[in-house]
Structure 1
């Protein structure tokens, strides 16, 4: 890992204490995992899915890691609504998956947008497709819809070119 990392929201950390990190400047994903056996395998897959998704969004959308193209006001509004929906659920005391909660703790809007979008593949990687999508549908239905239709659609279209 890197000695020092600066996360998307500007917070800094010691790279040796972080399991996964997406460096937007160098377009590099770092993954640290000592034990990949048993339940840890799923946790490592979640972390890797989360970081690779961040890099994919940055490369495909080119909007500082946000899950939509620069100037796409409609998508920007939809992602704002997804953040607001999740924050309202958290305020009501509804339990949210760690990935969603982490995204909402981002110190900048850019971090919240990027991390909320990448929470979807992280949750699916951790719990599997069926259970992961059920969790997303229950806890953040707008996130699931936006990720499935907009982010995945754009990533797949980009991959086919």
Structure 2
């Protein structure tokens, strides 16, 4: 299936010069959504994960159904202050400044194998920070899964040595 036909391109969003890849049109297409989830499931099964981690917020949309189809647990990685129990934190660089992500300290047992899921990998900062969080929990990053990869931004070079699944590359 040609997923690029299902992803809308919006020029100059969120600022001039940016070509935004809008996945809401993919999400609205039942065949496209089914294809994405089935393909992610097949590719992630080989990674033998114990849990799926979804990165706030679009990673939740793909991570939850992926965990369900794999028959494993799910944990969210959130922006600061959104999780109610004790958390591990990881700070990462943005174009202008820094941001932080958090995961519950008891999200999974130590030694678990985790697949990190998000809708898109661009510069790789968010996914790399999430991998750092997984390591703080005493777990292993089994791999990464993204629907879209913006290859010119070199995000995969920031990630630790683990398999990376992407379905569409621009």
**TM-score, length of structure 2 as denominator length:** 0.34
**TM-score, length of structure 1 as denominator length:** 0.35
Whose relative contact order is higher, 1 or 2, with alpha carbons under 8 Å and at least 6 apart? 1
More strand by share: 2
More helix by share: 1
